[in-house]
Amino acid sequence: MKRIVSVSLGSSRRDKRTEATLLGERFLIERIGTDGDLRRYARMFRDLDGQADALGVGGADLYLWMDDRRYVFRTVQRLVSGAVKTPVVDGSGLKNTLERETVRYLTETGAINRQTKVLMVAAVDRFGMAQALAESCDQVVYGDLVFGIGFPLPIRSYRMLRILARLLLPVITRLPFQWFYPTGSKQESRKPRAPKLFAEADLIAGDWHIIRRYMPDDLKGKVVLTNTLRKADIDLLKEAGVEKAIATTPEFEGESFGTNVMEGVLVALLGRRPEELTPQDYLSALEKLSWKPTVVKLQTVSPDFVAARPGGSS
């Protein structure tokens, strides 16, 4: 049996363990939270090295991307450096393939179109999704400054996003990761921010922990596109009036794992280290697995998602 372990800086309350058979291979898939404890996080990567087929970087990003440029978070790189034998993945391979394909799937099925108004809460950690949304929708607002560093300036064009990313990412990735992303108990608390940006959007996209932390209580009629959802998350979105929740990763026992976990599964299936794999390798494996987005309808009587109707008002 192949073992995939995601070690997360997030809350241990989200821990999950499941078994699955994929392409004839048995998998034990685990998510272990360290509640923001950096020493424990680093120790687990050392202790699990050689004990798993792939280790996922959870609750953190090892890399941020803009176009073809990769920026390494120095603090996270040091934390996971104890894993030498076992491949370490942070989900980047799937963010560039599965999440991009998810947006294309939603476009082809009519769930989104040119008129869809999108709030992408952070683009630099989900670059494939951000690029695909920019190609599919005319009105995309990027919240990297608003939600990442607390600067109240929404970015309203992909061109400006690229300029700012190339200026700021070399500096940001030298600073502690937890300054920019909720870890530990922060993942359990909410601090609504920029409610107008959420209100203006038809589709709210991006990392779930960022969405959860900053979303307002009222998201009636919205659609949320994100990476991983647990039952409590789905309940929260339902209470907020969200029409649909779409997770880019497949469902296991009614919940979805993060992209780092699922990239670990693909790396183990392919038997190669992540640096040896190309986007086409990932796409070929995804096609064999027939993975599709997990779509959860949350309201019994769904309000109209006007952006899903070509020519609809917005």
> Tell me, what's the pLDDT at 307?
38
Most confident stretch, 6-20, 144-158, 275-289: 144-158
Rounded to whole angstroms, the maximal C-alpha distance in the chain is: 56
Q: What percent of the chain has pLDDT over 70?
A: 96
Is the per-residue pLDDT at 251 higher than 80? no
Asked if 8 and 30 touch (Cβ cutoff 8 Å), the reply is: no
190-207 pLDDT per residue, tens: 999 999 999 999 999 999
Question: Rounded to the nearest 10 degrees, what angle do helices 98-108 and 127-136 cross at?
Answer: 20
Q: Pseudo-torsion of CA 229, 233, 234, 236, nearest 10°?
A: -160
What pLDDT band is residue 305 in, cutting at 50, 70 and 90?
Answer: very low
Angle at 194 between CA 138 and CA 107, to 5 degrees: 25
Tokens 């989200």: give the residue: 14
> Tell me, what's the pLDDT at 306?
37
Alpha helices (H) along 96-223: 98-108, 127-136, 158-172, 195-200, 208-214
What pLDDT band is residue 187 in, cutting at 50, 70 and 90?
Answer: confident
For residue 305, how many other CB atoms are within 10 A of its CB? 18
Is the per-residue pLDDT at 96 higher than 90? no
| DSSP H or E run through 78 | helix 74-79
CA 184 to chain centre: 17
> Tell me, what's the pLDDT at 165?
94
Is the per-residue pLDDT at 152 higher than 80? yes
Indicate the domain borders of the chain.
Answer: 2-91+257-289, 98-251+293-308
Q: Which fold has domain 98-251+293-308?
A: Rossmann fold (3.40.50)
